[in-house]
Amino acid sequence: MTAWVDTLSMIGGKNNRLYGLVPHSPRRRSPGRLILRELERERSRIARELHAGAGQPLAGIKLNLELLGQCFDDMPPRGREALERVQKLADQALEQVRAVSHSLHPPAWQNLTITEAIRSLVESSGLESNMAVLPEIDPLPIEPAHSIKIALYRCAQECISNIIRHSGATRVHISLTARGAMVELRIEDNGHGFANPVRGTGIGLEALHEHSNALEGSCEISSGPAGTTVVVQLPLAED
């Protein structure tokens, strides 16, 4: 258990240090894109470490708890209840580890076009079961550079996660369109919003600005009682 806690602590520290690199980088195309590529590689490595360092031990704990339950048929009721609670906690922890690992490094989306990837993200997010979703995800004239594609996907992922967890929205509009030499991702919801769209809202929304600036793009976030709008514009040109 101590080893598992140490692993999670190490992973969190590394991920936070990586995010800290982005805002201090010069606003030039090559350094920004190199940093974001390295960030994505580190996400993949963290996902593997999380799977091996926490997921596999938790799976072993779950299996051994099941064996214990089978070995002690005459276990007192209180002991049986305690064992069942521990089994449930192990199940929940394993599910969370797998979900985090998957979100850090989805196995398939990077092989899709960005329009296919965003559509797949929307479909798999569960948004449509909770609110009205108005997608406007148009085919782009060219496929963006890999670093742009990653940034667009991560921005959409962060926004969708915030909408599900915090917004209380009943309607969301998601669009991906070409705007001249730029590609624009726009996500609007009719939720209750929040007072300050950037400061004090955690690393996720700050990362939207950092990623956009590093790639010579822009990110505008507006929020209020009528909802929240996030507009990210990034260069469409390939590397």
90-148 pLDDT per residue, tens: 888 877 777 676 666 655 777 899 999 999 999 888 888 889 999 999 899 999 988 88
Is the pTM value of this prediction over 0.95?
no
Architecture of domain 109-235: 2-Layer Sandwich (3.30)
More confident residue, 87 or 115: 115
What string of DSSP letters covers 17-76? HHHHHTTTS-SSHHHHHHHHHHHHHHHHHHHHHHIIIIIHHHHHHHHHHHHHHHH-TT--
Q: CB burial class (10 A; 0-12, 13-18, 19+) of residue 2?
A: exposed
Give me Rg for the CA atoms of the chain.
21
Task: Categorize the per-residue pLDDT at 227 as very low, low, confident or very high, splitting at 50, 70 and 90.
Answer: very high
Structural tokens at position 152: 């667009």
34-70 pLDDT per residue, tens: 566 666 666 666 776 676 667 777 778 878 888 877 7
Residue ranges, comma separated, of all CATH 3.30.565.10 domains in the chain are 109-235
14-25 pLDDT per residue, tens: 554 544 444 444
Task: Categorize the per-residue pLDDT at 161 as very low, low, confident or very high, splitting at 50, 70 and 90.
Answer: confident
Segments in the chain forming alpha helices (H): 2-21, 29-50, 56-71, 77-104, 114-125, 146-162, 203-214
